[in-house]
Amino acid sequence: MLKPIEKVDTSIKKDIIINSIMKSKGVYLLVSNPKVGKSMLALQLSCSVINGTPFLGQKVNHSPVLYVTTESDAGQLKERLEFLELSAKKRLTIYNR
């Protein structure tokens, strides 16, 4: 529902997922030039959130992750997780084309 900015309720509690970086109830996009490592960064971020491990030196409270990709298939993501030695065995849902 659209509403004027002055009518937005900011008193709603939002849980912190990553200190100084990410709160719940949000949608986050990772945007940059091609071939700079967005996918790898997104996987590292996702695994930190799933496992509750620090990310960029910040405390992380674990949370489920929906990873949406339009470029990589599930096989490529699995290979990248293995290459980065990341664990995403729980709470990672992947949606690809």
pLDDT number for residue 80: 83
Q: Which two tokens stand for residue 16?
A: 């912190």
pLDDT number for residue 12: 59
Tens digits of residue pLDDT in 45-78: 988 988 888 999 999 988 888 888 887 787 888 8
Query: Is the per-residue pLDDT at 30 higher than 80?
Result: yes
Neighbours of 48 (CB within 10 A): 20
DSSP state of 6: G
The answer, as to whether pTM is greater than 0.95, is no
Every domain of the chain and the residues it spans: 15-96
Q: How far apart are CA 9 and CA 21, in angstroms?
A: 21
Neighbours of 41 (CB within 10 A): 14
Q: Which two tokens stand for residue 93?
A: 């849902």
